[in-house]
A and B are shown apart, each in its own frame.
Chain A
Amino acid sequence: MTKLVHDGTPEGIHAAVTGWLELNWTTEAERGANASDEGMRAWLTKVRDAGLATPSWPEEWFGLGISARKAGIIEKAFRARKAHGWGRDRFHLGAISVFKMGSEELKREVLPDLLAGPICCLLYSEPNAGSDLAGVRTRAEQDGDEFVVNGQKVWTSNAVEADYGMLLARTNWDVPKHKGLTFFLFPMRQDGVEIRPINQITGESEFNEVFITDARVPARYAIGEVSEGWKSFQTAIAYERLIMAQGGTERRGRQNEPTTPLLIDLARRKNRIDDTSLRQKIAQAIAYRQLNSLNNKRAKAEIAENGASSLMSLGKLAMSRIQHGDARVAAEVLGPEALLSGTPNPDAANASFDAAKAYMNSIGGGTDQIQRNIISERILGLPKDDAVDRDLPFKDVKTG
């Protein structure tokens, strides 16, 4: 192991990581990583072994055992150099789930690999289980020390590129819906997994249908106990929503707090910056974004102090208003130019793309309506709606 050597102070960490990048992120290394999967894997392995992929994790688990705030120094240094591999402790949902909830044995077996390249997709939604994820019907049946999986998933982002999927499947049909689920780390590259891309309203095609027929997953790949997967799953999806709260679903190149907000830049280029009514809308759009990042900052401070913050649950919903709002204002700045599209019209194309992409935040990872249910029930303590299927054995639950 060649862990990063540092003295624990912010300045020391900064100096150590910039020095490390200077030495290792050479033009050659960069070219190698971008040239092939093997090149990328070699680079990511180096980052992992230096403790830089997951610096906030303990030293015995590929980390440096430093605080999230200090880990941010490392992320910043990587981003400044455009080096790959940072922030796996914040963004790699598969690795995070295994690290937080997997057995010791599973962690030893798969974490080294997960941190050196493979991405994980999320095999949650099904045609009949979207918001109501505890209603999944994909079936996992034990066969010796393996489970055999059959079912259909949908809206699975990045399934084509993924080596693993975080799978929510039903292992017991005779108990109420939340009680018979198991959460698996599921190997994607096997016979019995068929992936069909879906065309999205953004023009992208990152999500897919996944048909699973007699595919297999080792029993030891269960994350948390068999048939108690709802709990592990809840933790995993909470991490996902946190990422979204910070704008993790936006067009790349959009930063959280850019020095010149993109809307000002756009209005200047289009000579609309003096329009007083637009100025109000632009200011309000920037304000919503800044308020959200200040709330996130306060949440982090509260977590550092008390271990928890209810503010964390607000960010994803707030981000929906931000993204839909920004896109609307951008179109207003453009005027009729917003009608256009294609490479000759990059501003219009971006505005339309952002307007469509905003739905990823307000639908994916739990819709805005589901977020409002969660906020009102778990934070404000308002009474739950009656759920007709709550205590029924799952096999008797209606679907449609």
Chain B
Amino acid sequence: MSTLSNEERQALCDMFERLLRDRASLESLRSVVAQPEKYDRSVWKELAELGLLSLMINEESDGIGGDAQDLQAIMEIAGRVLFPSPFLSTAVFAVELLQACKNDQLKQECLSDIAAGETIFAVSKGSSTGSWLDETKLSASKSSDTWSLNGVASYVVDAPRADEILVCANTSSGLRMFCVSASDADVQILETDDPSICLGNVSFEGVHAEILDDLDEAAIAHALNTTLVGFAAHQAGATHAIFEQTVEYLKTRYQFGRPIGSYQALKHMAADLLIEVESAITVSREAAAALANGKPNAAQLVSLAAFACADSFRDVSAAAIQLHGGIAYTMEHDAHLFWRHARAGQWLFGTSDQFREQYLQTWEDAA
């Protein structure tokens, strides 16, 4: 449960929205992502000052103590401008994992560095696809008291800009999570089609790592679910934004002496897309609420949100280009930025097919 009241959450959202409007509008996206790190460090600092980087950090660790619903609200806003940043990896996924472990010193240091905007984290399953639903290829072995990692983690979100990497590896006692300094690993930067994301392959050759104590698979799954809710909300916000922009265009663009939005072929497409848009928003909120309130169907709703939001975003952003015509075939227009980000979303945490399969299993298990 969140420590924030509804009013406090609203105030936080308003503040975040203002910051993005002033400092991270869609117009600024292109120049930001042209930088090697693909995010704006000064905006990141400002997020730290506003306390937003400690949104998910518990009050005992001097954070805001927000929950999945607070995160959902923030990420919907971020999605509308395709806000490029390592926020999900660092301030959500890493925070959730660190908070669940028992390494007091590491935890304390990392959380305060994250809150201050000084450390960027990448988090990886250690799979060959980047998917959290594929198996970990990395292995960890222990000699005397130190762990070392071997193997390659592919398609790791935010790895090229991370200071620290949290990564899963197989041990003789199952899957565990490790913390590695990024400078000790070999990070290969990947060129991406979607300019707003940052990806790398990370090779580990006997790299020294600290194991996160008492962090079992259930704890990892919980942290992943919170992150998935955040990503689903980001996609829902983006879906909403590109749809609104498209409907506006249908009202203002004239052909054959009338607004193109008066043609039934386009009106009917728009009506169908509206169902997609609203469903994405609804399910990301419902999944967040279920997770925040510890509802028994939380896992089911999270996997539903994961593929429903990804697919809605893919379909709505693809139709947006078609509905705009030639203007959206230009690099100058924003539509392709949404479309590229939607295509990337089909892979980043797991494919829609994988989440659909997982969703079906939750129904089978319930019965």
Contacts and interface: CB of A to CB of B under 8 A. Distances in A.
Interface of A: 259-261, 264, 273, 276, 279-280, 282-284, 286-287, 290-292, 294-295, 297-298, 311, 314, 317-318, 369, 371-373, 375-377, 379-385
A385 B264 contact: yes
A317 B258 CA distance: 27
A318 B275 contact: yes
Contacts of A290: 304
A383 B255 CA distance: 13
Q: Give the size category of B's interface with A.
A: 20 to 34
Contacts of B286: 294, 297-298
A314 B285 contact: no
A376 B267 contact: yes
Given A280-B357, A382-B262, A291 B267 contact: no
Interface in B316-353: 353
Nearest to B281: A298
Contact of A287 (B262, B304, B366): B304
B262 A279 contact: no
B282 interface: yes
Interface of B: 247, 250-251, 258-259, 261-262, 264, 266-268, 270-272, 274-275, 278-279, 282-283, 285-286, 304, 307-308, 353, 356-357, 359-360, 363-364, 366-367
A292 B282 CA distance: 9
Chain A facing B: main interface SS:
helix
A283 B357 contact: yes
Nearest to A371: B271
Contacts of A261: 363
A264 B363 contact: yes
A264 B366 CA distance: 12
Contacts of B266: 382
Contact of A259 (B250, B259, B356, B367): B367
A295 B267 contact: no
B308 A291 contact: yes
A115 B77 CA distance: 48
A102 B205 CA distance: 80
Given A280-B357, A372-B268, A373-B264, A382 B247 contact: yes
Given A280-B357, A291-B304, A380-B247, A385 B363 contact: no
Given A383-B262, A384-B262, A385-B264, A376 B363 contact: no
B271 A291 contact: no
Contact of B270 (A273, A311, A382): A382
B366 A259 contact: yes
Contacts of B357: 276, 279-280, 283
Contacts of A280: 353, 356-357
Contacts of B268: 369, 372-373, 376
19 contacts: A259-B367, A264-B364, A279-B357, A283-B356, A286-B359, A287-B308, A291-B282, A291-B304, A291-B308, A295-B278, A314-B278, A372-B264, A379-B274, A380-B247, A381-B251, A382-B247, A382-B250, A382-B259, A385-B262
Contacts of B308: 287, 291
B259 A383 contact: yes
A242 B21 CA distance: 39
By CB atoms of chain B within 10 A, which of A259, A273, A380, A381 has the most? A380
Contacts of B353: 280
B267 A314 contact: no
Given A279-B360, A287-B308, A383-B262, A314 B275 contact: yes
Nearest to B366: A259
Contacts of B259: 382-383
A303 B264 CA distance: 29
B271 A295 contact: no
Contacts of A291: 279, 282-283, 304, 308
Contact of B363 (A260, A292, A294, A314): A260
Contacts of A276: 357
A261 B271 CA distance: 28
B251 A286 contact: no
10 closest A-B pairs (Cβ-Cβ)? A376-B267, A372-B271, A375-B271, A383-B262, A260-B367, A283-B360, A382-B261, A283-B356, A372-B268, A291-B279
Nearest to A384: B262
Contact of A264 (B279, B307, B367): B367
A113 to B, nearest CB: 40
A276 B360 CA distance: 11
A77 to B, nearest CB: 23
A287 B132 CA distance: 21
